[in-house]
Amino acid sequence: MNFVQPAAPLKKAPVSREAGLVFFFLVLFGVIFCVTSVSGCSFARAREPEPEVFSRAEPGAAQVDFSPEAAYYFSVYNWLRYQDDKESRAGALLSLQEAVKVDSASAYLRLELAEQLLRIRRVEDAQVHAAAALELEPESPRARRLLAGIYSMTGRHEAAISQYEKLLAEDFGDGDTVFFLVALYVETLNYEKALEVLKKYREDRPEDALGPFYQGKVYSELKLYQEAERYFHEALEIDPEMAEAWLHLGSIYEFTERREDAVTVYRRLLELDGDDRQVLERLGQLLVGEGRLDEALTTFLRLRGLGQVPVSIEIKIALIYFQQGDYEIAASILQELHEQYSEQNRVTFYLASSLEALERKTEALSLFLAIPEHDELFYDARIRAAFIYEEQGDYSACEKVLRELIVSYPEKLGLYRMLSSLRRKQDDNQGALLVLQEGLARYPDDYKLRFALGVVYNDLGRVADSIAVMQVLLRENPDDAVVLNFVGYTYVEQGIQLDDAEKLLVKALSLQPDSGYILDSMGWLYYARGDYEKALTFLQRARDQAPDDPVIFDHLGDVAAALGRPGEAVEYYRHSLRFKDVDKVRLKIEKLLQKER
């Protein structure tokens, strides 16, 4: 059937008796329904609730009389709109458009058409018909409400405000209109008017929790959290089970660093609805931030138990296992996610990190290198790849990665330090110097690059240049414990200015009393002065703070040997064999063993 042709021409086509009866009753039903109905389609609307953006039929609406031809088109529309196939729904819209053409002065038909056009996002066409309906019936709240909604949707906030204000002037008790208007006032930063409208609304409806709730929302927008909290509490006094008020209250507690109160609120919400996904996610994230990983994991697993969860939640679960050291479980979850969502680079990155923690370096390296350059994790992935190459002893591949990163991220000064450190690890101190000079040519004032330069000068035996660089840094930052320690230790190693070294190291130790490296320097100072007992005390404290540092064990061996304890010295030296100057340490061991013989 062609739904856009008028009824009359259909008589020209031969039809069966049964088809004629169907047509007769269809038209008769349409005429009777449309002429006798108060609103024209109240039955249809009863079957299909309208979204808030669409108009509501107001009581007492005027009777509408359709011409038989318009009634026919409307009846076809009203029948087809509830069919399941797209063709029928398209035909319904065409039929309604034909009805409007026939009765263009019908405000009701224009409003019906405007609403249907909105449903298929033809907003401009909907606005034309809504405006025409309001012009036809200037007192129609339905038309004004619909037009206001369209203005709001299209960003014409002032026009929308004007329409809502007129609606309120006619009926201030309409809560929806009040809250739409308040939202627009907030959107246009007219907070004073928003609060004024809400104050009047509360005077009219003191028992409605929505009044103080929206007052709380306005004050939240103003970041006046104390006032907002007060109004949310007032809303909850009226309606203790108002979930939205509890949720906003929890947000305020988070903003104001009252995290334990926020946790209490979210747990209260879960008592109201244990399956609230939003609350479970918020609570879980909050617990992660508090370091309460067991509770967070329980919360996220509870969320997962409600059914399929977003990838982001599965990632959070995996990361909690990772943080707890359960790398196998983390990798298992992430591997499954990676098989389903291989295009999700976050999943790839975290899976690689888990595999790296499991010492499955080759697999991890492959995944890190798979992160594309446009992704925000590309830099971090390449850094991890560089570290793996370094651990595997593939220094050329490591340097290649770092060089490529320097080209793409010249502002990342740490890259120069990493590359310089890589060169030092290969005993290429001159190469390390060239890298730092390259970085300093771009960023001559960078503090950390200059510190690294001082270290490399020391490695090259250019001690005076090293100390000169460090002294400049100390003038800029006299409380830098690391630089104080470096200069003090250098003096001790050179056997010069031991009194100055002591002053520097005492100050460094006051700034970082638990630093194993500074304690080691103090012990080494006392060794240089021949006070071996005091040296031993400091070095043992240093070992306790940095038990994996081979230099400290080397120093302990020297002190033990000086105290006439060769057995202890040998044990200390054996621990220090991880030190890069292995031959020097082995020579010390051999000398002590020869003495014992």
Cβ atoms of 24 and 97 closer than 8 Å? no
Q: How far apart are CA 268 and CA 210, in angstroms?
A: 20
pLDDT digits (tens, 9 = 90+) for 387-429: 999 999 999 999 999 999 999 999 999 999 999 999 999 999 9
Farthest CA pair distance, the chain: 128
How confident is the model at residue 114, as a pLDDT? 94
Reply yes or no on whether the pLDDT at 585 is more than 60. Answer: no
Half-sphere exposure in the Cβ direction for 37 (13 Å, CA): 19
Average pLDDT value for residue range 460-477: 98
Both structure tokens of 120 = 């298929």
Q: Alpha-carbon distance 455 to 449, whole Å?
A: 10
What is the rounded CA–CA span in Å between residue 35 and residue 38?
8
What letter would DSSP give residue 85?
Answer: S
Model confidence, pTM:
0.69
Calculate what percentage of the chain has a pLDDT beyond 90. 79
**Is residue 595 pLDDT above 70, yes or no?**
no
pLDDT > 80? residue 216 = yes
**Per-residue confidence band for 66, with pLDDT thresholds at 50, 70 and 90:** confident
pLDDT for the residue 25: 34
DSSP annotation string for 276-324: -HHHHHHHHHHHHHTT-HHHHHHHHHHHHTTS---HHHHHHHHHHHHHT
Q: At what angle do helices 225-238 and 243-255 cross, to 10 degrees?
A: 160
Q: Tokens representing 55?
A: 């108009």
| Phi (first) and psi of residue 66, to 5 degrees | -95, 150
Indicate if the alpha-carbon torsion angle 149, 150, 153, 159 is positive or negative: negative
User: Contacts for 541-545 with beta carbons within 8 Å, 24 or more apart?
Assistant: 541/516, 542/516, 542/517, 543/516, 544/516, 545/514, 545/515, 545/516, 545/519
Check residue 31 and give its pLDDT. 32
Instruction: Say if residue 58's pLDDT is above 90.
Output: no
CA-wise closest residue to 1 among 72, 107, 82, 106: 72
Specify the pLDDT at position 166: 93
Which pLDDT does position 28 carry in this prediction? 32
180-184, Cβ contacts within 8 angstroms, sequence gap of 24 or more: 180/148, 180/149, 180/152, 182/214, 182/218, 184/152, 184/157, 184/160
Q: Measured between alpha carbons, how far is 507 from 474 in angstroms, rounded to an integer? A: 12
Task: Give tens-digit pLDDT for 331-366.
Answer: 999 999 999 998 999 999 999 999 999 999 999 999
pLDDT in tens, 296-333: 999 999 999 999 889 999 999 999 999 999 999 999 99
Alpha carbon distance 312, 327 (integer Å): 18
Mean pLDDT over each residue of the chain, to the nearest integer: 87
212 vs 255: CA distance, rounded Å: 20
Rounded to an integer, the average pLDDT of 369-395 is 97
- pLDDT at residue number 89: 87
Tens of pLDDT, residue by residue over 479-508, are 999 999 999 999 999 999 999 999 999 999
Give mean pLDDT, residues 119-133.
Answer: 94
At 76, the amino acid letter reads V
At residue 85, does pLDDT exceed 90?
no
Burial of 341 (0-12, 13-18, 19+ CB in 10 A): middle
Amino acid at 128: V
- C-beta of residue 245 within 8 angstroms of C-beta of residue 236: yes
Tens digits of residue pLDDT in 235-276: 999 999 999 999 999 999 999 999 999 999 999 999 999 999
Q: What is the pLDDT of residue 409?
A: 95
Q: Does residue 59 surpass a pLDDT of 90?
A: no
Comparing 438 with 9, the larger pLDDT belongs to 438
**Higher local confidence (pLDDT), 129 or 24:** 129
Q: What is the pLDDT of residues 172-185, one digit of tens each?
A: 667 889 999 999 99
How much is the pLDDT for 30? Answer: 38
Residue 172 confidence (pLDDT): 67
Are 233 and 249 in contact by the 8 Å Cβ rule? The answer is yes
> How do residues 509-532 score in pLDDT, each as one tens digit?
999 999 999 999 999 999 999 999
Can you give the pLDDT at residue 590?
61
Count of CA atoms in the C-beta half-sphere (13 A) of 481? 15
Specify whether the CB–CB gap between 402 and 422 falls below 8 A.
yes
> Would you state the structure tokens that stand for residue 168, as one six-digit string?
């309120």
Residues 6+ positions from 349 with CB-CB distance below 8 Å: 367, 368, 371, 377, 380, 381
Kindly report, residue by residue over 523-581, the tens digit of the pLDDT.
999 999 999 999 999 999 999 999 989 999 999 999 999 999 999 999 999 988 875 55
